[in-house]
Amino acid sequence: MTTLAAVPRNAEGFLERVEDWDRDIAREIAREAGIPELSDRHWLVVNYMRDTYIATGSAPTIRTLGKESGVQVKELYALFPKGPAKLAAKIGGIPKPKGCI
């Protein structure tokens, strides 16, 4: 089993390499962020996030998540408090949603 300590991460705790991710690592990052257990609803969002990133090269925004992932925006905030897109990206092992500079 891979452990979080063994994979490279950046200063903000995002994985350096998308391919290092697995479900155990996701659980560890979630615990670190104060989510003790990932429910089916969490997984729905995390998997959607990861699939979209791998297909398009960028992470979906909150509104796209609310429309497409099957989880409403209000619930996203309940599942991933403060900044759901960023936290779900971190747990999903994909880079932080980007700005330009």
Partner 1 sequence: MRHILILGAGTAGTVIANRLSRRLRSQLRAGRVNITIVDPDPVHLYQPGLLFIPFGESFRERITKDRRPTLDRDVRYVASAITAMDPDSDTVTLADGTRLSYDLCIVATGARLVPEETEGMTGPGWRESVHEFYSLEGAERLGYALDCFVGGRVVVNVVEMPIKCPVAPLEFAFLADAYFTNCGIRDKVEIVYATPLDGAFTKPVAAKSLGHLLEEKGILLETEFNTGRIETRAAGAPADELDGRAGALVSWDERRIPFDLLVTVPVHKGAAFIATAAGLGDAMDFVMVNPRTLQSQRKPNIFALGDAANCPTSKAGSVAHFQAEVLEENVVRMLEGRALDAGFDGHANCFIETGHRKALLIDFNYDTEPLPGMFPYAWGPVPLLKESRLNHLGKLAFRHAYWNRLLPGRDFPGIDAKMKRSGKRMLQTQD
Residues that bind partner 1 (CB under 8 A): 11, 52, 55-58, 60-64, 67-68, 73-74, 76-77, 82-83, 85-86, 96-101
Q: What are phi and psi of 69, to 5 degrees?
A: -85, -15
Given the residues 5, 6, 55, 100, select the one marked as catalytic.
Answer: 100
Compare residues 1 and 100 and give the one whose CB is closer to partner 1.
100
Give the C-alpha separation, 88 to 80, whole Å: 7
With residues binned 3-state (H G I as helix, E B as strand, rest as coil), the percentages for the chain, rounded to 5, are: 55, 0, 45
Contact 99, 73 (CB under 8 A): no
Compare residues 46 and 85 and give the one whose CB is closer to partner 1.
85
CB of 33 to partner 1, least distance (A): 14
Compare residues 2 and 13 and give the one whose CB is closer to partner 1.
13
* Integer CA distances (angstroms), 54 to 60, 66, 96, in order: 11, 19, 14
Residue 44: active-site member: no
CB of 70 to partner 1, least distance (A): 13
Residues serving a catalytic function are 100
